[in-house]
Structure 1
């Protein structure tokens, strides 16, 4: 049993769910939500903070500031509280109420941007606010997950090697695309060490990362309104774009079997299901892993609440009340 003295010292790296009986497809789900921050973002948050400390950017009196729709904000709140830093999270109206409350409970200041930028949407508006904040006071230190190389280095150093150790005969790895830190870190590691593994990115419809048109997205986590600077498309073999209604279906299918996963995980499962249905249906000779970034407690007021789902998606979602409470 691990014994720790700080929350960031613990991350569960060895838990996988075999989804073969749930989906009828060969897929293992790597569950990254079992740490004190509740998501895979704890790895990147710690890597970026410790690198900033080593470089002398973060010192006594520094105030960490970051733009986040949720999971990274919670991770930074957790580590900032542990290390004694003030933290300001700049988010937008899509951030779940539970996530905002959790960050505030951890001592973070949460600023919610209301009006989207005419060209770059809510993300661009958040980034503009962060820049203005940093320009106003030199104590503010922006880690900038969107361009920070330590974002992907965390997964190059930790996530991908752990998967490779557990699944040495891996054929396909499914990774969600947000800032693309997890995607790029894993893709680089596999290109360097096991180039035969197929890297499949999973993104949300309405995200611009793979060149599609921007459109409103209501589930925070994956996707981007501004193409991530970290993203190198040459490292990705395939991409699957998932409509949010399919994210909801995947989440409710899993919760109907007792697995309460977050919206990002629902998107990854939906994308992996679609890809495997085309490329691996009926096959027993393929080994596939999907990375689950988060758990579902922070989505109880949105993804898992029938009135919110109907209000936001209406007739676009062909799910009755029974489906919203269990498998579809």
Structure 2
């Protein structure tokens, strides 16, 4: 049996859900939410902190600081508590309340940006981090957006774990946020013994792969500033998913007993759209589910929140009440696809 002494020592890395019975297309969903941080961000957080320690950047007087929409903030809060570091998470008003409370319960300080800057909320968050770092030398900014150890964590762990379980992998669907997971997996499979089609799944309104910015209310995927880690030469295709379809997919999964987060809903919606457009290929397909859904109970699983932001037709069979006793329809494949630079 596993016996651990620090919370970051445990992570379930080999759990997959077969989604064919739920959606009619074969897709294996790699579940990354079964650790004490509750998301895939535990890997990047651990890798970045360990690198900073090796480089002598962290001391007992250091204050970790990072911009996060939620999941990385929780992972850093957990590791900081375990190692005895102070941590300040700079987030914004779209961060789920339960996520903010969780970080505070772990002993972290949370600063919430309430107004977007010229580059949206992300730009405003980064500006605040830079100002803090300039004001006090004790602050250490890991900078998940440019830190190479973000994608190295997935090059060393996430991608090899998939390769072990699926030696005949044909296509991999990865959500794009900081693009750490995307770049780590894409770089690994570029060097693999067989070609793997890498499909990046982004939120509509994100500027990560170009195009105009738009309203995004679900934290996790998408950015208002192009991530420095991104190299589109490693990406074969991009699918953009509307948030309404993210919500439909999350509810469809939940009505079958699988409560996943918004990022997972986006990735699954995009993957099913792609698979529906390739009906005769029958590829071995894997998608990465970054987190679980408990932190979204007051947002994407709350009917009033959904209807206030997206209208009454997103979940047409639901009434404005708590979501527990309602049945959601199957998601409609309305995600749009676009090509990027190939291999």
TM-score (norm 2): 0.93
Say whether the 8 Å CA contact 1:257–1:326 is kept in structure 2. Answer: no
What's the Cα RMSD here?
1.3
Q: What are the within-5 Å matches in structure 2 for residues 68-217 of structure 1?
A: 68-117=68-117, 119-217=118-216
1:308 to 2:309 alignment? no
Q: How much does 1:322 deviate?
A: 6.8
TM-fit CA distance, 1:320: 2.5
Aligned partners of 1:162 and 1:214: how far apart in 2?
34
SS at match of 1:215: coil
Residues 29 and 289, structure 2, Cα contact 8 Å, conserved in 1: yes
Give the C-alpha shift of residue 194 in structure 1: 3.7
CA offsets per residue over residues 134-191 of structure 1, 9 Å max, x none? 0110000000000000000000000000000000000000000000000000000000
- Aligned residue for 1:276, secondary structure, equals helix
Report Cα offsets for 1:99-151 as digits up to 9, x if no partner: 0000000001000001111x200000000000000011000000000000000
Q: CA offset at residue 282 of structure 1?
A: 5.4
Larger fraction in helix: 1
2:296 to 294, 299, 302: 299
1:23-62 aligned within 5 A: 23-62=23-62
Alpha-carbon offset, residue 316 of structure 1:
5.8
Q: Structure 2: how far apart are the matches of 1:326 and 1:173? A: 30
Counterpart of 2:327 in structure 1 is 326
**In 2, Cα distance between equivalents of 1:185 and 1:326:** 37
Deviation string for 1:283-327 (max 9, x for gaps)? 5x4210000000000000000000110111114625321796334
- Equivalent residues of 1:207, 1:223 under 8 A apart: yes
Partner residue of 1:251?
Answer: 250
* Unmatched segments (≥5 aa) in structure 2: 330-343
The separation in 2 between residues aligned to 1:318 and 1:88, in whole angstroms, is 37
1:238 aligns with 2:229: no
How do 1:241-280 residues align onto structure 2 when only pairs under 5 Å count? 241-279=240-278
- SS of the aligned residue for 1:130 comes to helix
Using the alignment, how far apart are the partners of 1:296 and 1:143 within structure 2? 27
CA deviation map 1:228-278 (0-9, x unaligned)? 000000100111000000000000000000000000000000000100100
**What TM-score do the two structures reach when normalised by structure 1?**
0.97
Number of aligned positions between the proteins: 325
Aligned partners of 2:132, 2:317: CA distance in 1, in Å?
45
Cα distance in 1 for residues equivalent to 2:69 and 2:217: 11
Cα deviation for residue 212 of structure 1 reads 1.5
Structure 1 spans left out of the alignment, 5+ residues: none
